[in-house]
Chain A
Amino acid sequence: MKAACRSALAPLLLALALAAASHPAVAGLLAGGGSRPLAVDRLGELAISHLALAGLGFLIVAALGLGLGIAATREAFAPLRAGIDTLAAFAQSLPPVVVVALALPVLGFGGPPTLLALLAYGLMPTLRGTVGALDAVSPEARAAAEAIGLTRRQILTQVELPLAAPGLIETLRTASILSISVAAVGALAGASTLGTPILAGLQNQNVSGLLQGTAATAALAFLGDAMLLAIGGFLTRE
């Protein structure tokens, strides 16, 4: 328990520091005179819609990635394993910006192209991570579970998933970071996220807006990481 808290503490503190840096007063101070920091209300609005978009994307990616990953490690789907790796390499070669840009004319402005980019970029690493974590479960443990007469479902829920938990949490951490990061790129497609003040700041040379968006996005990313680390520590406390 203590170790769990300790590993989550560093990202949590970093998140708090970055959140403080994104406050208009601090950011205005950091950016120097003549800058136009965003008001707290506007920043909060953007942060909430950023979280909503990234959270929705994370849930979809996590559910699909874990589900398909569990399915892919069942015996019946063994022949598909080589295909998954090829597909994962292919999907990782498509940068999220490019997916957002290509989906823009088809899906229109806003959230949908961002979600598609997130799905295209996040699904395969999550799937591959799940498969890797489940593969790392020792065959002896599985054989022992079979020997004491557990059903397949019981083996999955009581042996494989608990033993694979550290690897699965690691995979979900990657997925959460990708979600927050791609949601920021979604500002290019007109989605209202914390990427919006960054882009506006780059275009108008508004350094404090740029700094606020940057710090707040990074704060969200570290916050999500801290949360998953704490959950992971709690689950694997024995």
Chain B
Amino acid sequence: MARAAGRGAMTMAVSGARAALPRLAAALVLPLVLASLPLLHLAPNRLVTGAPISAAVLGPWLWPLLALAATGPALVASARGRVGAGLGLLACAGGLALLLVGLGTGASELLAGQPPAARARLAAGAWLVGLGLGAGMVFGMRASRLPAPGWLAAVAILALTAGLGAAGRLDALSLTVEFHARRDGLARAILDHLALSGGALILAGLVTGALGVWRRGRGAVDLLVGGVQVVPAVALLGGLVAAASAVLALLPGLRAAGLSALGAGPALIGIAAYLLLPLWRGLQGALRAPDPAALDAARALGLTPRQTLTALRLPLGAGLLIGGLRVAAVQALGLATLAQLVGAGGLGRLVFDGMAQFAPDLILLGALPVIALSLAAESALAALEAAARRRWPA
């Protein structure tokens, strides 16, 4: 009896230790990163990496940040109810605010007395701790059962960054300096990027729809849209430019009419060519979604082919169709970055300018919106896909 009780206590202790381990790990990761990796790089100009700066740069903000970076993730990892998760979420958000304020203040102190070309650039430690706290916010919101935790966290982080930026607290960071230098160009680039990817998506959708009507050529279309995927994007864009310039050389009148071998035209066609495969697969899957018995039943009820399409095939295939659209949209946003290769503009322009100048902050300025747009498209369409599958279960 006593031995059994002892064994019970021991297994409890063991399972307690096992449960404590993730909590301990969650509490230790971010403080360890803060202690070991540089938060900033102080560089004499915007093109060199510069000297690493440790977490001491945060000054008075360091200790509260360490406390929040330890307790927030630990609370989120161990939360059983909504209260604990909510507290962890608040700790993570507070930690992120402290990190940003501390980095901004520390950077402006570092730069005081330096020549104007000197830059304080965010380093690996700052990115990792920021990402960790952001992830803590998402998981905290999920554990608190808030709706759409990813979106809510993204909005909260954006609002926090924008608020601090508008208050001038982040002005000393090199990314902010680059942003101020390129502000108008950035807005324009985002709009161009959306226009390019949206235009290519619409073009590819129209072509897919037209091909879908052509029943007999299904095998040929399968081969064609699959074959396009094999050609690397850089090569396809290059080939389109070569083809367009050959056409323009044959018909000089077109060049006089304002057409050019470079620019948005070949970019749109090139991007759209890659989107055909996911859209085509989505469409074919959607058309095949209802089982033959259901189709027979529809015919027996006297539904016309059009009614079968709108009442049966499209609702049952909506999930697959939106799934194809989701893959295509994410690919379009990524490929639109390459469109700058043929001079089509968009966010690729900032990325390519940054690579040409070897200016990391300019690359980031172009790359961060691309990543944000892709993730937003992915999660929005994934939510839509899930909703469609719930609404019309197969």
A residues contacting B by CB (< 8 A) are 10-11, 14, 30-32, 89-90, 92-98, 101-102, 104-105, 177, 180-182, 184-185, 187-189, 194-195, 198-199, 201-202, 205, 207, 210-211, 213-215, 217-218, 221-222, 225
Q: Residue B392 at the A interface, CB < 8 A?
A: no
Q: Are B234 and A195 in contact (CB under 8 A)?
A: yes
Report whether over half of chain B's contact residues are helix, strand or loop; otherwise say mixed: helix
- Kindly state the separation between the CA atoms of A133 and B338 in the bound complex, as whole angstroms: 32
Ranked 4 nearest A-B pairs via Cβ? A95-B334, A181-B232, A93-B374, A105-B360
Decide yes or no: A95 and B335 within 8 Å by CB, A104-B363, A221-B231 being known contacts. Answer: yes
Q: Are B232 and A105 in contact (CB under 8 A)?
A: no
Contact residues in A for B341 (Cβ distance below 8 Å) = 199, 202
Contact residues in B for A211 (Cβ distance below 8 Å) = 238-239, 242
Contact residues in A for B363 (Cβ distance below 8 Å) = 101-102, 104-105
- Kindly state the separation between the CA atoms of A189 and B230 in the bound complex, as whole angstroms: 22
- Kindly state the separation between the CA atoms of A189 and B370 in the bound complex, as whole angstroms: 18
Q: Are B231 and A89 in contact (CB under 8 A)?
A: no
The answer, among A96, A105, A218, for a CB contact under 8 Å with B231, is A218
Q: Are B334 and A98 in contact (CB under 8 A)?
A: yes
- Kindly state the separation between the CA atoms of A188 and B233 in the bound complex, as whole angstroms: 13
B residues contacting A by CB (< 8 A) are 49, 223, 227, 229-239, 241-242, 245-246, 249, 262, 330, 333-335, 337-338, 341-342, 348, 351-352, 354-355, 358, 360, 363-364, 366-367, 370-371, 374-375, 377-378, 382
Contact residues in A for B352 (Cβ distance below 8 Å) = 188
Residue from the set A101, A185, A210, A222 with the largest chain B CB neighbour count within 10 Å: A101
The answer, among B241, B354, B360, for a CB contact under 8 Å with A210, is B241
A selection of 30 A-B contacts at a CB cut-off of 8 Å is: A14-B227, A31-B246, A89-B378, A93-B334, A93-B374, A94-B374, A95-B374, A97-B348, A98-B337, A98-B351, A101-B351, A101-B363, A102-B363, A102-B367, A104-B358, A105-B49, A105-B360, A177-B229, A181-B232, A184-B235, A188-B352, A194-B235, A195-B232, A199-B341, A202-B241, A207-B245, A207-B246, A210-B241, A211-B238, A218-B232
Q: Are B233 and A207 in contact (CB under 8 A)?
A: no
- Kindly state the separation between the CA atoms of A199 and B234 in the bound complex, as whole angstroms: 8
- Kindly state the separation between the CA atoms of A185 and B236 in the bound complex, as whole angstroms: 12
Decide yes or no: A217 and B371 within 8 Å by CB, A97-B338, A177-B229, A207-B242 being known contacts. Answer: no
Contact residues in A for B238 (Cβ distance below 8 Å) = 198, 201-202, 210-211, 213-214
- Kindly state the separation between the CA atoms of A96 and B232 in the bound complex, as whole angstroms: 12
* Other contacts beyond A93-B374, A101-B366, A214-B238: 9, CB < 8 A: A93-B330, A94-B371, A95-B333, A180-B232, A188-B352, A210-B238, A210-B239, A210-B242, A213-B238
